[in-house]
Structure 1
Amino acid sequence: MTFQAYRVSETEQGMTASWQSQEAAQLPAGDVLIDVEYSSINYKDALSASGNKGVTREYPHTPGIDVAGVVADSCDAGFAAGDRVVVFGYDLGMNTAGGFAQQVRVPASWVLRLPESLTTAAAMSWGTAGFTAALSVQKLERNGICPANGPVVVTGATGGVGSVAVALLARLGYEVLAVTGKPEQQSFLQALGASGFLTRDEILAAKGKAMAKPLYQAAVDTVGGDLVSGLIPQIQPEGAVTTCGMIAGIKVEASVFPFILRGVSLLGVDSVEIPREQKQAVLDKAADAWCLPELEQMTTEIGRSQLSEVLDKVLAGQGVGRYRLNLNAE
C-alpha cells in the first residue's frame, strides 16, 4: 500500500518539493509504524524544507518534526496496533523521515501515548512549539517564578512558541507583556490573554547596559540574539529568562552583574533530546492541568496542497499562531 509524503530534493537549480507516493519499505528502520493523521508546522520544518544543512544533512528528505496518529504495526511490546500516539523531537523530520507523510516508522523510545482526553488534532495544535512553550513555563515556575511577583515578558509573541506561552501564562494567572513586531496582531494577542505590549525597541534600549531598572519578573524568549541581551539587565532580583529560539541571532552579550548582583537566571529550553518520561509528563499536563481550550481558535488547519505556502510564510517570520497539517486532506 502506498502513502503520500512531502519530499524535498536538492537539484542544480536549487531545492524542490512535491508530494510523492511512497511505500512503507522505503521508510527507515524502527520499531513502530504509525499511520499519521496530523503533523504541525514549526520553524525547524521550514528550515529543513528550504535545504538548511544545519537541520537536515542529506536530501531527498521528508521534513516534519511532529506526528500524531495511530499505530499500524509494532514489534515493541509496549505498543500495539490501534494505540493513539504522538512523536516529537529526537531526530524525527531532521535526518529521519518525518511527519509530513501519511506514515512514519520510528524507534519505540521516541513514542508517547496520547492521553484519552486529547485528540490527535489537539495534540498537533500543541506540537513541538507548544510543548516548548510549556517547558519554558515549567522551567520558570521551578525557578521560583509566580504570578504574584510581577509581569512576564514573551518575545516573538505571535509565533508558534510565543503565542502558546502567552495563552498558558495568562491561564496560570500571570500578567503577560507581549513583544511583537506585528502591531496589527495585538487584538489576537489580547484574546490569548496578553495584558500589555512592548516594542522591540523598548527591550533593546537596555542592550549594552550592565544593569537597568528591574521592570520584569521573568521572560520567555523565543527569538534569541539581541532581545535576550536587552532583557537580562531589566529582570528583577531572583528572576529568570528562558530562551529557546535563534531567529534573531545565536549570540548574546551580557554583563555578569545581573547574575551575581540580582541572582538572575538564564535558562535554556530543549524540547528535542529530553528523556521520554519528561515529554510524556508535559503531554499529560497539556491534556489536564494545563489544558488550553483557546488553542483550537489560534490554530489554522491546512491540507497537503497548502503546505508549501505555509512553510514559506513561517520561514519568512510571517506566521501567526499555530499551523496544523491534516495528512488526509487535500
Structure 2
Amino acid sequence: MFKALLLTASDDQAPHCALAELDEAQLPEGEVLVQISHSTLNYKDGLAITGAGPVVRRYPMVPGIDFAGTVLESSDTRYKKGDAVVLNGWGVGEGHWGGLAQKARVKANWLVPLPAGMTAFNAMALGTAGYTSMLCVMALQQQGVTPDQGPVLVTGANGGVGTIAIALLSLLGYTVHASTGRMNEAAHLKALGASELVDRNTLSAPGKPLQKERWAAAVDTVGSHTLANVCASLQYDGVVAACGLAQGMDLPATVVPFILRGVTLAGVDSVMAPYARRAKAWERLARELPSEVLASNTETIALADAPAVAARLLQGQVRGRVVVDVNV
C-alpha cells in the first residue's frame, strides 16, 4: 500500500480530492515502477486538484505532472533498480496516474535519468516549471539571441517558470526585466537577477499593433493581451518564447510586428518534447543553476497540504516553486 492524492468526480460535479491509501496493483500499466521521493505543484496541478480547468481526462486520477525518485522495478533495459529518474509531462497527472503519490508506474520512454550531482529535491525545486524555463532559454539561444542585443522580458515573473527563467537568464549574462502584478516582491525578483520591474497592468490590456521597441527578447508565460503587447514591443528581429496561458489562450494580435520588425514567436512545449531535448535541458539545469538559487525560491510542503496550496497557487498567492515531500 502507498499514500496518494486521489481525485474522484461524479456527473457534472467538481472533483473531490482526498489523501488515500492505494494498492500497488491499482497502478496503471507501464514498464517502470518508481518509488517517488518528491513531487511538486505546478499551475496545471492547481487546475486539476481544484477543478478550475479541464485538465483531468478521466477519473479516478492521481494528479501531479512530474516527480523524481528511484526505480523499484523495470522491464526495460534502459533502467534498473536503484536508478534515479525524473519525469515531466506526457499526460501524467491528466490521463495517467501522476506524481502526487509515493509510487508511480510509467512508460520507460517518459523518464529521464536524474543528472549526476542533482538531488531529487532540487529536481522538483525545478520541476516542470524549471525544465520549461530552460527550454525557453534554449529556444531564445537557438534563434540567436545574445546578451549584447538588449534586455529580455520575463512575464509572470513571480511564478515557477518566471522565477527560474530570471535566474537562468541573469546567470547567462542577459539583462532581465520582470513583469509582475506583485510589485511588493521586487526584492526577491532582483535577488534572482532582475534589473528592472514592469507592472503587468501596462501589458495586460488591449494595446496598439506596434509599440515602442523595448526588449530584444522575451519569455512569456501569460498569453492573451500580454503576449500581443510583448510582440508589439520587441526590437527589430526580436524573439519571444511562449510557454503559458495564465491570462488566456487567445492571442489578440496583428501580423504587424512579424512583417514590419521581423519578430519571431517561438512556441515552447514541455509536455511532449523529445527525449534528446529533455535530457539536454536537465543536464544544463544541473550544470548552470546553483542549488542556493533554488533554496531561496522554494517552499516545501507535505502531501496532505497540496490541495490547500493548490488553491493558493491559482489565486496568485504562491511565490516561486513548491516541492511536495510525498513521504511526510
Scaled to the shorter chain, the TM-score interval is over 0.9
The answer as to whether partners of 1:168 and 1:292 remain within 8 angstroms in 2 is no
Question: Secondary structure of 1:198's match?
Answer: strand
- Is 1:126 aligned to 2:149, yes or no? no
Where does the alignment leave 5 or more consecutive residues of structure 2 unmatched?
none
Give 1:292 shift: 5.2
* Pair 1:261-2:260 in alignment: yes
Distance in structure 2 (CA, Å) of the matches to 1:169 and 1:14: 39
- C-alpha displacement of 1:54: 2.9
* 2:194 partner SS: coil
Letter of the structure 2 residue corresponding to residue 130 of structure 1: G
User: Any conservation in 2 of the 1:208–1:253 contact (CA below 8 Å)?
Assistant: no
Aligned-pair distance for 1:201? 3.0
Worse-superposed segment, 289-298 or 139-148:
289-298
Query: Equivalents in 1 of 2:250, 2:218: separation in Å?
Result: 17
- 2-structure distance, mates of 1:113, 1:184: 38
The offset of 1:290, in angstroms, is 4.4
CA drift at 1:209: 1.7
Residue identity over aligned pairs, in percent, reads: 40
- 2:322 counterpart letter in structure 1: Y
The Cα RMSD (Å) is 1.4
Indicate how the Cα distance of structure 1 residues 288 and 309 shifts in structure 2: closer, same or farther if over 3 A, else same. same
1:192 correspondence with 2:189: no
Aligned residue type for 2:127: G
- What code does the residue aligned with 1:57 have? R
- Identify if the C-alpha distance between structure 1 residues 27 and 53 changes in structure 2 by more than 3 Å, giving closer, same or farther: farther
**Shift in Å, 1:141:** 1.1
Bigger mean CA deviation after superposition, 308-317 or 73-82:
308-317
* Contact 2:168–2:288 under 8 Å retained in 1: no
Residue aligning to 1:29: 29
* Structure 1 residue 165, shift from structure 2 partner: 0.6
The code of the aligned residue for 2:252 comes to E
Offset of residue 174 of structure 1: 1.1
Aligned to 2:3: 4
TM-score by length of 2: 0.96
Residues 50, 307 of structure 2: 8 Å contact kept? no
Structure 1 residues not aligned, in runs of 5+: none
Q: How many angstroms apart in 2 are the aligned matches of 1:87 and 1:201? A: 35
Deviation at 1:305, TM superposition (A): 2.5
Q: Distance in 2 between matches of 1:144 and 1:290?
A: 21
Equivalence for 2:203:
203
Structure 1 runs (4+) greater than 4 angstroms displaced: none
Q: Which residue of 2 aligns with 1:317?
A: 316
CA distance in 2, matches of 1:208, 1:294: 35
Report the counterpart of residue 107 of structure 1 in structure 2: 107
Is this contact kept in 2: 1:300–1:322, CA < 8 A? yes
2:76 aligned partner, one-letter code: D
Q: Is the 8 A contact 2:207 2:225 kept in 1?
A: no
1:146/1:130 CA distance change after superposition, 3 Å: same
Task: Name the count of aligned residue pairs.
Answer: 327
Partner of 1:283: 282
**Pair 1:180 & 2:180 matched:** yes
Q: Which residue of 2 is the match for residue 51 of structure 1?
A: 51
Q: Is the 8 A contact 1:224 1:243 kept in 2?
A: yes
TM-score, normalization by structure 1: 0.96
